[in-house]
Amino acid sequence: MPFYFAREAPKLWRKICNESSTEVSLLAGNWKFVLAGLICQYLHGLAAHGVHYLHRPGPTLQDAGFFLLPELGQDKFFLSETLFAAVFFSFILWTFHPFVFQSKKIYTVLIWCRVFAYLAVSQFLRIITFYSTQLPGPNYHCREGSEVARLPPPKSALEVLYFPRAVMYGCGDLIFSSHMIFTLVFVRTFHKYGTRSLKWALFGELVNENKLVVYSQDVRIFSHLMYHSGVFSHDSIAVYHCRCIKQFAWLVAVILSLLIIASRKHYTVDIVVAWYTVNLVVFFVDQKLPELPDRSLGSTSPPLLPMSTKDRDSRHREELEKFRNGNSSDITT
């Protein structure tokens, strides 16, 4: 077993290097979009911090979600944040899967350019909305008596421009939920650009009449599969897992919505507005931007037999040359 993984390590490193060269080429042509997206994220945080100075705590407004969902309490405050963190970092890892896996549909740089476009438009609408009307925050730290419910006038520009605590203790930026903007953008993006299923080409080795040791070409993970009928040889087997993973992602978005309301971090209207606004934003932005190239339509799908190092390197060189030689319509965002 140690020899097997030692043998595969150089192949994985070569795959990462080849993919990096392709992504660096794309980044060189799209760095302005990436930089603009990061700047928009900072400006959105700055606007949310600025509205905190205008926030005035008051009685919690009547809310249908508060009536229907029991209050979780401050001791269970972490539930929604933990689920959101899982969604956030899972999506980031997914966008970088082309560096590791053979089966790939997206380019990391291009998918993030598209995501930043979705986020920028949604957050611009959010800023306009929460500056138009400031509602008394339902969160515990935004209620009357909390030390951070009201912010004193800033003593310097640094207090306004640098706001590490505002990420967790902001008030006033209610309509509509920022957590749901990120969640819905990530889920929508994964739903559209994620593969239909997690698919690996597996090769089996017969151990005995009812046990087959199977290893995956992509991830090289050994497992034991029990079979009770039939005779198996070294033929390739296509195994499909997680057909409902996209439906599960939408279910997670619904659960997160309910947890945010039950945690009293947002009013129900903040969640409802986020659901239809973000989906409409994604729909109309997609109408304006060219479609992203689909790598799964080319030669990047997993082959039935392992590729040689020469074939794999040749394919990556051809892919990189395609972008360098003028297929600009495929790589613009």
Closest CA relative to residue 10, chosen from 316, 312, 318, 319: 312
Cα angle value 247/258/139 (rounded, 5°):
145
Active site residue 270: yes
* Residue of 49, 52, 179, 316 marked active site: 179
* Residue of 49, 55, 270, 316 marked active site: 270
- Pairwise CA distance, residues 48 & 259, whole Å: 22
Active site residue 191: no
Closest CA relative to residue 260, chosen from 174, 186, 152: 174
- Pairwise CA distance, residues 330 & 318, whole Å: 15
Query: What single string gives the DSSP state of each residue in 144-158?
Result: TT-TTSSPPPPSSHH
198-213 as b/e, with b when 16 or more CB fall inside 10 Å? bbbbbbbeeeeeeebe
Active site residue 55: no
Contacts with 219 (C-beta within 8 Å, 6 or more apart), sequence order? 101, 200
Closest CA relative to residue 270, chosen from 147, 170, 166: 170
- Pairwise CA distance, residues 108 & 16, whole Å: 13
- Pairwise CA distance, residues 270 & 267, whole Å: 5
- The set of long-range contacts for 160-163, using a CB threshold of 8 Å and a minimum separation of 24, is 160/46, 160/49, 160/50, 161/46, 163/45, 163/46, 163/49
* Residue of 266, 294, 313, 316 marked active site: 266
Are the C-beta atoms of residues 172 and 134 closer than 8 Å to each other?
yes
Q: Which residues are catalytic?
A: 179, 266, 270
